[in-house]
Amino acid sequence: MTGTTEPFGARLRRAMDERGPLCVGIDPHASLLAEWGLDDDVAGLERFSRTVVEAVAGRVAVLKPQSAFFERFGSRGVAVLEKSVEEARAAGALVVMDAKRGDIGSTMAAYAESFLRADAPLFSDALTVSPYLGYGSLKPAVDLARESGAGLFVLALTSNPEGGEVQHAVRADGRSVGATMLAHLAAENAGETPLGSFGAVVGATLGDLSSYDLDVNGPLLAPGIGAQGATPADLPAVFGAAVRNVVPNVSRGVLRHGPDVTALRNAADRFADEVRTAVAAA
């Protein structure tokens, strides 16, 4: 498993144009394993993950494993995650590791090395990170991502209700914390073509975001499509002119169709087509 010298933003733009702008989550939580008739153990985890990768890794732009659902099984669960990442990337999907890491100094550097170092067992095309120890705390991850051709998705405007107490807080300069994170990302991506590699996580369920400048010249990972209530048709109203750079994430809306591989593929194809239609009409 290796890194790449081509920047993540360029690879993501191409994947979105060729495969459609859709990210499918790999979220093997206990209730989904049960729905699939699988045991809540490492064998069930492996069967679930392999099936999702087999079904959609060759057709969607992005797969996003949630590392917590693998880590809860200890080292054997992490081994399944390593294999899933390897197989997904081999099938042509870009992998965004949803680990939401955030710390300072050497600890942040170690988190970055776990997922962004080119020869790391868990090397992923991008990593979700939390900037709420200050955006500058992410510098080790930013630097290593640039070196490895990887990217970051920074939590900016999340859809969980609790997020507002931090993200909507207003700084002394009158700008909200969330808007500040978006401004930092725009600076990271300045001058990059066709798309910068440093994106934001912005919930698709948040409604009108016209008061925020979402044009960061980078991707916007948008959870909330499907089970959380948002639809592909909602995307233009939420993201406005930035909608072409949105990577909508669907998890349960696709995963609930398993373990049948054909049903999983059909669900992913349906969401991808709906997103394409919505973006084209914007």
HEC-encoded secondary structure of the chain: CCCCCCCHHHHHHHHHHHHCCCEEEECCCHHHHHHCCCCCCHHHHHHHHHHHHHHHCCCCCEEEEECHHHHCCCHHHHHHHHHHHHHHHHCCCEEEEEEEECCCHHHHHHHHHHHHCCCCCCCCCEEEECCCCCHHHHHHHHHHHHHHCCEEEEEEECCCHHHHHHHCCECCCCCEHHHHHHHHHHHHCCCCCCCCCEEEEECCCCCCCCCCCCCCCCCEEEEEECCCCECHHHHHHHHHHHHHHEEEEECHHHHCCCCCHHHHHHHHHHHHHHHHHHHHHC
Cα Rg of the chain, angstroms: 18
CB atoms within 10 A of CB 280: 9
Q: Give CA separation, 11 vs 2, 93, 125, 196, in Å.
A: 15, 10, 9, 10
Q: What pLDDT was estimated at residue 96?
A: 98
Q: What pLDDT was estimated at residue 3?
A: 52
Query: Are 247 and 16 in contact, with CB atoms under 8 Å apart?
Result: yes
The rounded percent of the chain whose pLDDT value lies above 70 is 99
pLDDT one digit per residue (tens) for the chain, 282 residues: 455 579 999 999 999 999 999 999 999 999 999 999 999 999 999 999 999 999 999 999 999 999 999 999 999 999 999 999 999 999 999 999 999 999 999 999 999 999 999 999 999 999 999 999 999 999 999 999 999 999 999 999 998 989 999 999 999 999 999 999 999 999 999 999 999 999 999 999 999 999 999 999 999 999 988 777 889 999 999 999 999 999 999 999 999 999 999 999 999 999 999 999 999 988
Q: What pLDDT was estimated at residue 1?
A: 45
Hey, CA dihedral for 135, 141, 143, 145, is it positive or negative?
Answer: negative
Predicted TM-score (pTM) of this structure: 0.96
Query: Are 40 and 30 in contact, with CB atoms under 8 Å apart?
Result: yes
Which of 64, 83, 100, 139 is an active site residue? 100
Query: What are 208-228's pLDDT values in tens digits?
Result: 999 999 999 999 999 988 777
Question: 155 has which bridge partners?
Answer: 201
Q: Is 100 a catalytic residue?
A: yes
